[in-house]
Structure 1
Amino acid sequence: MLKNKAVLTHGLVWLALLTVLFLVNVREHPDHAVILILLYGALNVIIFYIHYFVINPILIGMGRYWRAVGYIAIVLAVSIVVKYGIALYYDDIILQYRDSDGQQKILTPMQYMVAALISGLFFMLLSTAVYVISTNFRTREDRKNLETEKLNAELAFLRSQINPHFLFNSLNNIYSLAYKKSEKTPEAILKLSEIMRYMLYESNEETVLLEEEINYLKNYIELQKLRFKEKVHVDLHVDIEEAGRRIMPLLLISFLENAFKHGVSTDEHQPIRIDISVQNGRLYFKAENAKNQVNKDQTKGVGLTNLKRRLQLGYPDRHTINVVESENYYSSELFIYL
């Protein structure tokens, strides 16, 4: 794409330049304007691109200055000879001119060659300027692409850390149900199947619909509830003004994991409270719960360290995260500008 744009830009610039030269010369030499513009235009274009593709890489890329100077001298010498040959053929147009007094004058060979030398040097300097600008632009683009690839690779790695962590915890829960020969085991396996389907197929995208992510959280909550004999109290409140908002997948699960990790509430007066809302393009997420040492999950995972890194990569300067923890209380808040 960038290469096609560069070719188009070069073509348009040369077309505009040759058109201007044609309009300048057509009044004085209407019969030969096209021929002269094409001849001299073609020569200058050749000088430009020989310098651009052959000499500049040697001069700037390799730093072989004397070799580059030798090539420059050869190109200038050949171009001057060719231009002077054209001037001799059209001597009445090119070599003759009128001075300020209106008298007819003729350019000497030296005068014309100096003018041709200056013209050649001008297009070489122009070529060098364009080469430096283009090289710097490509370098910035390559660096940007490299950084993007690096960020994507790091995000993929962080996301891959979540899957084994979550799977490990869930399998532990199902094992516990199966060991107790609980009737909840088939339902737990079904919930895990739905969750894994989302994680394997939906979460491979860079972003997913917020509604799908919330549905994934609901399945996770239901799976967690199946672990306990007592009724687990979770108060989930969702308020989304705008449908179709998208979010990085598997971003909010760490909050839920921490809420359940610090103890599942079987007290209806102290439920795990989860608030999710979107207003004016800003996501607000809060999970809070009273700690319960009896139902505390002892497993360790990647948790908030992983989450914070993903937020830094995916939402730089567009998020705020607050975690409050005391002896008996745990709360986590997240604000994201989607």
Structure 2
Amino acid sequence: MNKIRTPLLHFAVWLAIILLFVLISSQRGRIEDALVIFGYFGLLNVAIFYINYLYILPKYLNSRRYLGCALSILFLILFSGIVKYSLAWLFADIVLVRGHMHNQIIPFWEYYIGTVVTGMFFVFLSTAVKFSVDWFVNEKIRKNLENEKLTAELAFLKSQINPHFLFNSLNNIYSLAYQRSDKTPAAILKLSEIMRYMLQESNESQVELNKEIRYLENYIELQKLRFRNDDFVRISIEGTDRDQTIVPLILIPFVENAFKHGLVTDSGCPIEISIRIEKGRLAFSVVNQKSGQNKDRTSGIGLSNVRRRLELLYHNRYTLEINDSKDCYQCKLVLEL
């Protein structure tokens, strides 16, 4: 479609310019004279434009042969002046005369210098158009490449989330099964619900905030099945505007990190998870006491992953504060939804 639209646009612009000058010039004399001046010579100037635009610039500039480009443009301007003067002799009584009585012949050099200046103008115009078009084309290509790179990087980051989470959850269920716990079937059911969300919803670029929160609650319930005391974790949710959307699986790494490295056996020092929902804004925080044991040497995967996703998807629309003290770990995330 663009291959047809671009030539038609060029043709329409040039036709409009030539007809405009013919109309203006015909008001000062015969329309036949105007057609000769702005028809023949207008078309010659258009030819100068496209010889430079379609042949000289692509041939020499793309291969960085700047001297050849300059010499070719100079030859084009000088040769076109000779062609114009030769044609002018065919219409000498229209083109090469001046004065009130039209009885003065324009000298060769005076007319030739005028054609050179005109040729320089159309060369400059075609060069400016060429650089402008190339810039827009290159900018479009650059943005497409950036989008493709971004899509590929996000796909890679998301591919890391599912196996990482699944690995930790299966470890938990394995512990329950090894202990022959009655909680094992419930844990498997919870994991099934979580995996359904990850498979069906996380492929979308945005999901309802309500679904993401429900996903977090399921994960917390799955973790509670491992312990006798449910008081080791407290979650508070404020705000009812849950119809807003959020990038899926963006909050889970913080909660998962708290369960892996937090103190989860002391109800006096519970994991505290807070979600505050406002119009267009989400405030999320997780606080946990450290257990003193590094349960997972690969723990950096989750948080480094989510940092990168935040930067890609919420650039300049989020703040993340992490306070890592000796006994306590706290993260605060604010998203502009």
CA distance in 2 between partners of 1:215 and 1:187 (Å): 17
Structure-2 residue corresponding to 1:22: 22
* 322 and 64 in structure 1: CA distance in 2 versus 1, 3 angstrom threshold: closer
1:276 partner letter: I
Range 246-255 or range 205-214, more displaced: 205-214
Structure-2 residue corresponding to 1:253: 252
Contact 2:320 2:334 in 1 (8 A): yes
Range 314-323 or range 70-79, more displaced: 70-79
CA distance in 2 between partners of 1:292 and 1:37 (Å): 87
Task: Write the mapping of 1:130-145 to structure 2, written as runs, cut at 5 A.
Answer: 130-145=129-144
> Secondary structure of 1:284's partner?
strand
Query: Are 1:272 and 2:271 counterparts?
Result: yes
CA distance in 1 between partners of 2:270 and 2:2 (Å): 56
Query: Are 1:62 and 2:59 counterparts?
Result: no
CA distance in 1 between partners of 2:46 and 2:277 (Å): 58
CA distance in 1 between partners of 2:119 and 2:214 (Å): 69
Query: How many residues are aligned here?
Result: 334
Q: Deviations over 1:193-244 (max 9, x none)?
A: 2222322332233333322222221221122122234435433222346454
Contact 2:25 2:31 in 1 (8 A): no
> Secondary structure of 1:218's partner?
helix
> Secondary structure of 1:126's partner?
helix
Contact 2:242 2:277 in 1 (8 A): no
> Secondary structure of 1:181's partner?
coil
Post-superposition offset of 1:27 = 0.7
CA distance in 2 between partners of 1:26 and 1:177 (Å): 96
What TM-score does the superposition give when structure 1 sets the normalisation length? 0.83
Structure 2 unpaired stretches of 5+: none
> Secondary structure of 1:62's partner?
coil
Post-superposition offset of 1:95 = 2.3
* 170 and 57 in structure 1: CA distance in 2 versus 1, 3 angstrom threshold: same
Structure-1 residue corresponding to 2:45: 44
CA distance in 2 between partners of 1:239 and 1:7 (Å): 60
Query: Are 1:87 and 2:88 counterparts?
Result: yes
* 83 and 234 in structure 1: CA distance in 2 versus 1, 3 angstrom threshold: same
Structure-1 residue corresponding to 2:302: 303
Task: Write the mapping of 1:1-338 to structure 2, written as runs, cut at 5 A.
Answer: 10=10, 13-14=13-14, 17-32=17-32, 33-34=34-35, 36-69=37-70, 71-72=72-73, 75-76=76-77, 79-80=80-81, 82-84=83-85, 86-98=87-99, 104-231=103-230, 233-240=232-239, 242-263=241-262, 265=264, 270-292=269-291, 298-299=295-296, 300-301=298-299, 302-338=301-337
CA distance in 1 between partners of 2:49 and 2:280 (Å): 51
2:98 partner letter: Y
2:46 partner letter: V
Structure 1 unpaired stretches of 5+: none
Over the aligned positions, Cα root-mean-square deviation in angstroms equals 3.3
> Secondary structure of 2:31's partner?
coil
CA distance in 1 between partners of 2:96 and 2:224 (Å): 96
CA distance in 1 between partners of 2:227 and 2:195 (Å): 21
